[in-house]
A and B are shown apart, each in its own frame.
Chain A
Amino acid sequence: MEHGSWLTGTLVYLAAAVIAVPLARFLGLGSIIGYLAGGILIGPWGLKFVTNPQDMLHFSEFGVVLMLFLVGLELEPKRLWQLRKPIFGWGSVQLFGSAALMLGVGMLFGMDWRIALVAALGLAMSSTAIGLGVLGERGLMNTTSGQGVLSVSLLQDVAAIPILALLPLLALSHEKAEGSAWVSAAKAIGVIAIIVFGGRLLIRPALRWIARSATPEIFTAASLLLVVATAALMQTVGLSMALGAFLAGVLLAESEYRRELETDIEPFKGLLLGLFFIAVGMSIDFAVVMARPLLIAGIVFGFLLVKAVVLWGMGRGMPLPKPERPVFIILLAQGGEFGFVVFQTAAGADVIDAPTASLLVAAVAISMLVTPLLLVAADKWLIPLLAGQAKKKSNIEELHDPQHQAVIIAGFGRYGQVVGRMLYANGIKPTVLDVDAEQIEAMRRFGWPVFYGDATRLDMMRTAGAATARVLVLAIDDVAQSIEVAKMVRENFPDLTIVARARNVQHYFELHDLGVEMIERETLDSALMSARSVLEQLGWERHQARTLALRFRRHNVDQLAKMAPHRKDEAKLIAAAKQGRQQLESLFAQERDEAAKREARVGWSDDADTRGAPAIENETATSKAPTLT
Chain B
Amino acid sequence: MADTPISVLDAPTRPSPGADVVVITAHPQMEHSRINRRLMRAARRLPATESSPLIVVRDLYSLYPDYLIDVAEEQALLASAKLIVWQHPIHWYSMPPLMKLWLDDVLAFGWAYGPGGIALRGKDLWLVATTGGPEESYQPTSYNRYFFSDFLPPYEQTANLCGLRFLPPLILHGAHRAEDAEVEAHLAVYAQRLASYPNWPELDELLYELPALIPEDARPDEDSDDASDPPRLASQGAD
Q: Is the CB of B219 within 8 A of A612?
A: yes
Residues of chain A from 512 to 535 with CB closer than 8 A to chain B in the complex:
517-519
A376 to chain B, nearest CB (A): 46
Residues of chain A from 551 to 574 with CB closer than 8 A to chain B in the complex:
551, 553-554, 557-558, 561
Q: Is the CB of A614 within 8 A of B219?
A: yes
Inside 8 A of B161's CB, which chain A residues have their CB?
614
Inside 8 A of B5's CB, which chain A residues have their CB?
517-519
**In the bound complex, CA of A499 to CA of B108 (Å):** 37
**In the bound complex, CA of A618 to CA of B114 (Å):** 11
Q: Is the CB of B104 within 8 A of A620?
A: yes
Q: Is the CB of A611 within 8 A of B218?
A: yes
**In the bound complex, CA of A129 to CA of B215 (Å):** 85
**In the bound complex, CA of A605 to CA of B219 (Å):** 9
| Interface residue? A427 (CB, 8 A) | no
| Interface residue? A629 (CB, 8 A) | yes
User: Which of B23-31, B52-60, B64-72, B164-172 sits within the interface?
Assistant: B64-72
Inside 8 A of B217's CB, which chain A residues have their CB?
605, 608, 611-612
Taking a contact as CB atoms closer than 8 A, the residue among B68, B72, B219 that contacts A629 in the complex is: B72
Contact code string B162-194 (vs A, CB < 8 Å = 1, else 0): 000000000000000000000000000000000
Given contacts A550-B66, A553-B3, contact A615 B214 (CB under 8 A): yes
| Interface residue? A177 (CB, 8 A) | no
| Interface residue? B84 (CB, 8 A) | no
**In the bound complex, CA of A557 to CA of B219 (Å):** 36
Q: Is the CB of B104 within 8 A of A621?
A: yes
Contact code string B1-22 (vs A, CB < 8 Å = 1, else 0): 1110111100000000000000
Inside 8 A of A615's CB, which chain B residues have their CB?
214, 218-220
| Interface residue? B75 (CB, 8 A) | yes
Inside 8 A of A618's CB, which chain B residues have their CB?
104, 108-109, 219
| Interface residue? B239 (CB, 8 A) | no
B178 to chain A, nearest CB (A): 30
**In the bound complex, CA of A622 to CA of B68 (Å):** 13
A597 to chain B, nearest CB (A): 8
Q: Is the CB of A554 within 8 A of B220?
A: no
| Interface residue? A602 (CB, 8 A) | yes
Given contacts A612-B214, A612-B218, A614-B214, contact A623 B110 (CB under 8 A): yes
| Interface residue? A291 (CB, 8 A) | no
Nearest-CB residue, chain B, relative to A625:
B108
Which of B72, B107, B220 is the most central at the interface, judged by chain A CB atoms within 10 Å of its CB?
B220
Given contacts A554-B3, A561-B6, A611-B215, contact A601 B220 (CB under 8 A): yes
**In the bound complex, CA of A519 to CA of B7 (Å):** 11
**In the bound complex, CA of A604 to CA of B220 (Å):** 9
Nearest-CB residue, chain B, relative to A551:
B68
**In the bound complex, CA of A533 to CA of B197 (Å):** 50
| Interface residue? B33 (CB, 8 A) | no
Given contacts A517-B5, A518-B8, contact A625 B215 (CB under 8 A): no
A3 to chain B, nearest CB (A): 76
| Interface residue? B105 (CB, 8 A) | yes
Given contacts A518-B8, A612-B218, contact A554 B68 (CB under 8 A): yes
Q: Is the CB of A517 within 8 A of B7?
A: yes
Inside 8 A of B222's CB, which chain A residues have their CB?
594, 598, 623, 626
Residues of chain B from 98 to 156 with CB closer than 8 A to chain A in the complex:
104-111, 113
Taking a contact as CB atoms closer than 8 A, the residue among A517, A605, A616, A626 that contacts B110 in the complex is: A626
A609 to chain B, nearest CB (A): 9
Inside 8 A of B104's CB, which chain A residues have their CB?
618, 620-621
Given contacts A608-B218, A619-B219, contact A626 B6 (CB under 8 A): no
Inside 8 A of A605's CB, which chain B residues have their CB?
217, 220
Inside 8 A of B196's CB, which chain A residues have their CB?
none
Contact code string A578-616 (vs B, CB < 8 Å = 1, else 0): 000000000000000010001001101100100110111
**In the bound complex, CA of A612 to CA of B72 (Å):** 27
Inside 8 A of B67's CB, which chain A residues have their CB?
550
Given contacts A554-B68, A557-B3, contact A625 B218 (CB under 8 A): no
Q: Is the CB of B72 within 8 A of A628?
A: yes
**In the bound complex, CA of A615 to CA of B161 (Å):** 11
B176 to chain A, nearest CB (A): 26
Given contacts A611-B215, A611-B218, A614-B214, contact A625 B111 (CB under 8 A): yes
Q: Is the CB of A517 within 8 A of B68?
A: no
| Interface residue? A481 (CB, 8 A) | no
Given contacts A554-B1, A598-B220, contact A621 B105 (CB under 8 A): yes
Contact code string B65-88 (vs A, CB < 8 Å = 1, else 0): 011101110011000000000000
| Interface residue? A624 (CB, 8 A) | yes
Taking a contact as CB atoms closer than 8 A, the residue among A518, A624, A626 that contacts B105 in the complex is: A624
**In the bound complex, CA of A481 to CA of B30 (Å):** 39
B110 to chain A, nearest CB (A): 5
Given contacts A614-B161, A628-B72, contact A608 B220 (CB under 8 A): yes
Q: Is the CB of A517 within 8 A of B224?
A: no
**In the bound complex, CA of A598 to CA of B8 (Å):** 38
Q: Is the CB of A612 within 8 A of B215?
A: yes
**In the bound complex, CA of A133 to CA of B106 (Å):** 64
**In the bound complex, CA of A518 to CA of B161 (Å):** 41
**In the bound complex, CA of A618 to CA of B105 (Å):** 9
Q: Is the CB of B219 within 8 A of A625?
A: no
Inside 8 A of B214's CB, which chain A residues have their CB?
612, 614-615
A485 to chain B, nearest CB (A): 19
A82 to chain B, nearest CB (A): 45
**In the bound complex, CA of A528 to CA of B8 (Å):** 22
**In the bound complex, CA of A389 to CA of B131 (Å):** 66
| Interface residue? A547 (CB, 8 A) | yes
**In the bound complex, CA of A615 to CA of B114 (Å):** 9
Q: Is the CB of B219 within 8 A of A626?
A: no
B162 to chain A, nearest CB (A): 10
**In the bound complex, CA of A608 to CA of B224 (Å):** 15
**In the bound complex, CA of A622 to CA of B71 (Å):** 11
Closest 9 CB pairs of A and B: A612-B218, A615-B219, A625-B108, A601-B220, A554-B3, A628-B72, A615-B218, A550-B68, A625-B111
Which residues of B line the A interface, CB within 8 A? Answer: 1-3, 5-8, 66-68, 70-72, 75-76, 104-111, 113, 161, 214-215, 217-222, 224
27 A–B contacts from the bound complex (CB under 8 Å): A517-B8, A550-B66, A550-B68, A554-B3, A561-B6, A601-B224, A602-B220, A605-B220, A608-B219, A612-B218, A614-B113, A615-B220, A616-B219, A618-B109, A620-B104, A621-B104, A621-B105, A621-B107, A624-B71, A624-B108, A625-B75, A625-B106, A625-B110, A625-B111, A626-B108, A626-B111, A629-B76
Known: A561-B6, A605-B217, A612-B218. 20 other contacts (CB 8 A): A517-B5, A517-B6, A550-B66, A550-B67, A554-B68, A598-B222, A601-B220, A611-B218, A612-B217, A614-B113, A614-B214, A615-B214, A615-B218, A616-B219, A621-B105, A624-B71, A624-B72, A625-B109, A628-B75, A629-B75
